[in-house]
Amino acid sequence: MQRAAYGLAHAVAREVKKRRKLAGASVTVLVGKGNNGGDGLFAAALLARRGMRTTAVLAAAEVHAEALAAFVAAGGRGVRLEAANAEELAVLCAGDDVIIDALLGTGARGGLRDASAELVASLQELRPRLVVACDLPSGLDANTGEVHWPVLDADVTVTFGGIKAGLMADPGEGCAGRVERVPIGIEKQLEHNSPELRRLTASDIGALLPNPGRRAHKYSRGVLGVVAGSARFAGAAVLSVHAAALAGSGMVRYLGPQAAAQLVLARTPEALWETDDPGRVQAWLLGSGVAGEEQLERARDAGSSALADGLPVIVDAGALSLLPDRCPPHWILTPHAGELATLLGSLPSTGEVKVTRDDVESRPLHYVRQAAEQTGATVLLKGATTLVSSPSGVVFSQSDGTAWMATAGSGDVLAGVLGALLAQAAESINDDDGAYARLGLKLEDRWAALAAVAASVHGRAGALASANFDGGPLTASAIMAAVPRVIGSLNAEYDRTRP
């Protein structure tokens, strides 16, 4: 507890010092009845000793006794929260330099209640200057990222031990701000009861990105077949094919109507337009912008032959309605929340239960796992945080992008990037050289890991492109243009630091 409190106090002091002098600055800690409140009180005691004006709002009749004694001994002032003073305390706290949210931690069941809920709801409206959450924002489920409102949005969350699953899945991650981990000596223990949710680091991604050998040729590099676009959505074909070319496919074969093919070739003269037998490919991308019977038929045919040949397939947008009864794990579905809701609704195994987009957005971790389990496929659920579930239940979470990436065509670029990675990895991934094992990944989860690599490359490309515009807005084309540089720098960084 002392290590946790010290880490928390250190982070709070640092954040305050970015804004003003620490001595004389005001901090209020919101204290619940459990150990989370104890951590908050011990941290506030340390801050009082460093000259901060400290107040504790005590939300329970009994709080951690030892921590309260330390807090009082350090000169802190306690106020009991009651229904009658919740509004008034909210106004007072909102004027503070920093608020520490230590109401509920990992032991919470359900959300904030009564006066605590009232206080937090009012505070959230008053937009306090700086909020630091102790371990996790109170009201958030540490295992799922599901949220019981109201929750006080944190600028920084200081979390102890391992990073909880709930801080890597929305809507929880969206409330947590920047997450900092304080090691407290229980990390080894956590490794063994891992929550099966994993975030790949830049170095993990460098280790998994395909790299051409010296004697590579275009066919050995990996050919991607693409059935995308249609008369109505020709742009999806243009974007996905170009992104696949930029992300390093050996070759891209495009199947689609002549009008779309002309636009595809105008942007990507490197691509081939296949009008009858598409020739050999190592992987397929089906569905981005696919509409109309003729193009759906092409996607269906390519899907059937891929299934028979055991080839990896990305199933995006329009092709999500063409799934076989059971998909193999090397089929990667790439829905956004709305598409996932529709997909789940169409599965016989979901039964009569209706799933809406709101349901998926409230419980993305639950539904992405459910979809992978029920279809047998790997499922990549797009969003601010993108979750990828292997049918084994192992989930990857990547959150490397910027909100400017919520722009039309962005998903088509992701599909192209993933297609390029799949085509390049398709042949080597089955006789893995140990890269997955070295990262502690099971080979059965390799498709999900590769999809997470694509999501991260896509997110990093968006972040880089926006940074090049001083944080300004993006088009899908701008995201795509940054992809080669992101892959190049991830590879270079990995080469510099590899063991």
Q: Tell me the number of residues near ligand NPW by CB under 6 A.
A: 24
Q: Give the C-alpha separation, 314 to 400, whole Å.
A: 21
Stretch that binds ligand ADP, among 44-52, 348-356, 358-366, 382-390 (CB under 6 A): 382-390
Q: Who contacts 158 (Cβ-Cβ below 8 Å, separation ≥6)?
A: 7, 8, 11, 12, 132, 133, 134, 135, 180, 182
Residue 384 annotated as binding site:
yes
Which stretch of DSSP H or E encloses residue 77?
strand 77-80
| Closest of 211, 282, 276 to residue 251, by C-alpha | 282
Rounded (10°) angle between helices 35-49 and 2-17? 50
By CB under 6 A, name the one of 69, 73, 186, 403 that touches ligand ADP.
403
Rounded (10°) angle between helices 114-126 and 86-94? 40
Rounded (10°) angle between helices 65-73 and 35-49? 10
Nearest approach in angstroms of CB 113 to ligand NPW is: 5
Residues 10-43, buried b or exposed e (16+ Cβ, 10 A)? bbbbebbeeeeebeebbbbbbbbbbbbbbbbbbb
Q: Tell me the number of residues near ligand ADP by CB under 6 A.
A: 17
Residues 20-59 that bind ligand NPW (CB under 6 A): 32-37, 39
- Largest distance between two CA atoms of the chain: 82
Told to check if 118 binds ligand ADP by CB under 6 A, we report no
By CB under 5 A, name the one of 8, 27, 81, 134 that touches K ion.
134
Picked from K ion, ligand ADP, ligand NPW, none, the partner binding residue 249 (CB below 5 to 8 A depending on kind) is none
Told to check if 386 binds ligand ADP by CB under 6 A, we report yes
CB 203 within 8 Å of CB 232: no
Told to check if 405 binds ligand ADP by CB under 6 A, we report yes
Nearest approach in angstroms of CB 75 to ligand NPW is: 23
| Closest of 107, 158, 154 to residue 129, by C-alpha | 154
Picked from K ion, ligand NPW, ligand ADP, none, the partner binding residue 406 (CB below 5 to 8 A depending on kind) is ligand ADP
Residue identified by tokens 């540490």 is 142
Task: Kindly report the length of the chain.
Answer: 499
Contact pattern for ligand NPW over residues 99 through 118, marking x by CB under 6 A: -----xxxxxxxxxx-----
Residue 442 annotated as binding site:
no
Q: Give the C-alpha separation, 22 to 109, whole Å.
A: 35
Residue identified by tokens 């229980």 is 186
Tokens coding 305: 């032959």
Q: Give the C-alpha separation, 67 to 73, whole Å.
A: 10
Told to check if 414 binds ligand ADP by CB under 6 A, we report yes
Residue 236 annotated as binding site:
yes
Nearest approach in angstroms of CB 220 to ligand ADP is: 29
Told to check if 229 binds ligand ADP by CB under 6 A, we report no
Residues 10-39 that bind ligand ADP (CB under 6 A): none
Nearest approach in angstroms of CB 41 to K ion is: 12
* SS3 at position 143: coil
Tokens coding 373: 């389990």
Nearest approach in angstroms of CB 1 to ligand NPW is: 4
By CB under 6 A, name the one of 69, 186, 190, 216 that touches ligand NPW.
186
Picked from ligand ADP, ligand NPW, K ion, none, the partner binding residue 107 (CB below 5 to 8 A depending on kind) is ligand NPW
By CB under 5 A, name the one of 28, 106, 138, 249 that touches K ion.
138
Told to check if 185 binds ligand NPW by CB under 6 A, we report no
Nearest approach in angstroms of CB 463 to ligand ADP is: 9
- Beta carbon nearer to ligand ADP, 138 or 386: 386
Q: Give the C-alpha separation, 499 to 421, whole Å.
A: 24
By CB under 6 A, name the one of 64, 198, 382, 460 that touches ligand ADP.
382
Q: Give the C-alpha separation, 173 to 182, whole Å.
A: 17
Picked from ligand ADP, K ion, ligand NPW, none, the partner binding residue 32 (CB below 5 to 8 A depending on kind) is ligand NPW
Contact pattern for ligand ADP over residues 449 through 478, marking x by CB under 6 A: ---------x--------------------
Tokens coding 219: 């066919």
- Beta carbon nearer to ligand ADP, 96 or 173: 173
Residue identified by tokens 């030892």 is 66
Residue 330 annotated as binding site:
no
171 prior amide bond cis, ω within 30: yes
CB 326 within 8 Å of CB 308: no
Residue 185 annotated as binding site:
no
| Closest of 183, 74, 19 to residue 29, by C-alpha | 74
By CB under 6 A, name the one of 101, 135, 146, 339 that touches ligand NPW.
135
Q: Give the C-alpha separation, 376 to 327, whole Å.
A: 5
Told to check if 134 binds ligand NPW by CB under 6 A, we report yes
Q: Give the C-alpha separation, 78 to 104, whole Å.
A: 18
Q: Give the C-alpha separation, 490 to 467, whole Å.
A: 17
Residue 383 annotated as binding site:
yes
Nearest approach in angstroms of CB 157 to ligand ADP is: 18
Q: Site residues (CB under 6 A) for ligand ADP?
A: 336, 382-384, 386, 401-403, 405-406, 408-412, 414, 458
Which amino acids are annotated as binding site for AMP, given as ranges?
Answer: 382-386, 411
Which amino acids are annotated as binding site, given as ranges?
Answer: 236, 289, 336, 382-386, 411-412
Q: Site residues (CB under 6 A) for ligand NPW?
A: 1, 4, 32-37, 39, 104-113, 134-135, 160, 184, 186
Q: Site residues (CB under 5 A) for K ion?
A: 36, 101, 134, 138
